Structure 1
Amino acid sequence: MSAGGESVQGNFYEQVGGHDAFRRLVEAFYREVAEDEVLRPMYPEQDLGPASDRLLMFLEQYWGGPTTYGELRGHPRLRMRHAPFKVNPEARDRWLAHMRSALDGLALPPLQDATLWSYLERAAHAMVNTFED
C-alpha cells in the first residue's frame, strides 16, 4: 500500500517511476559530480555521459528494469571496476552526499526512498579500497 492507501503493484523499478525516475536520479547525481574536485578526476572521459549511461543501466537492471547493463557489460563486478581508483572514506562520503541530494530530488515515498538509500549506502561502503588520502 502506498502512503495514500492505494495498492502498489509492480517491482521496485516500476514503483519508483521506471526509466524516467532513474534517469533523473543519475542526471542530478552527475551534475554534482562534475563540480566535485575529489570525484571528478575519477572519471577519465571528458564528458560524463558514458559514466552516466553505465550507472543508469546498472541501477535499472539491479532494480528490475531492462537488462541492458548485463547484455553490454556482463557481470557488474563493482569492486573490480572501481579498483583502479582511490576510493577512500572521503570519496565515499562525497559520493553519498551527491547521491543523497539526487535522491531527495525524486521525492520518493518513504519506503522506496529508504530502500534505495540503504542499497546505495551499502554499495558505497563496499567500494572503499583504501584509507589513505
Structure 2
Amino acid sequence: MEQQTTYDRIGGEPTVARLCDRFYGLMAETPQFAELRAMHPQDLQGSRDKLFMFLSGWLGGPDLFVQNFGHPRLRARHMPFAIGTRERDQWVACMLLAMEEVGIEEGVRERLLQNFFNTADFMRNQPG
C-alpha cells in the first residue's frame, strides 16, 4: 500500500497555495517580521509563487520548482541575503503562524516545523 505524501495529507495544491498566501500575508502585515519582509522585493507575488512551487515538490506533490527553475540550490539562492539566527527565527515563526492559521493538523505541523527549522538553519550565512 502506498503511503500518503505530506502534500496529499494536508490537502494538496489548495492548502499549499493558502499556506504560501498566508505566509507572505503575515510577513507583510506583522511588525515582528519587518526585518524578514525587508529582505524581499516590494511585490511579493514572485516570492510567493516560487515558495508555492518549491513546497509542492518538497511536500511530495508535483515538483514544480524543478520543472521551472532546475535544482532548488537553496543555500546558493539565499547566499546574497544576510541570514543569521534572527532572520531564521523570523522565517520559522512566520511559517508556524501560517500553518496554524491554515489549519494544518498538529502532528503534521510539528514535523514540518522541525523540517522547516532545519532547512532555515542551513540557510544561515551570518554568525548569530
- TM-score, normalisation: structure 2: 0.88
Max Rg structure: 1
Of 31, 42, 47, which residue of structure 1 is paired with 2:25? 31
Unaligned 5+ segments in structure 2 are none
CA distance in 2, matches of 1:43, 1:25: 18
CA distance in 2, matches of 1:111, 1:99: 15
More helix, by proportion:
2
- Aligned residue in 2 for 1:124: 120
After TM superposition, give the deviation of residue 108 of structure 1 in Å.
2.4
What does 1:86-125 correspond to in 2, within 5 Å? Answer: 86-125=82-121
Q: After TM superposition, what 4+ stretches of structure 1 lie above 2 angstroms from structure 2?
A: 106-111
Q: CA RMSD in A?
A: 1.7
Q: Aligned pair 1:42/2:36, yes or no?
A: no
What does 1:2-17 correspond to in 2, within 5 Å? Answer: 10-17=4-11
Of 76, 83, 91, which residue of structure 1 is paired with 2:79? 83
Identity of aligned residues (%): 37
After TM superposition, give the deviation of residue 10 of structure 1 in Å.
2.6
CA distance in 2, matches of 1:115, 1:19: 19
Q: Number of paired residues? A: 124
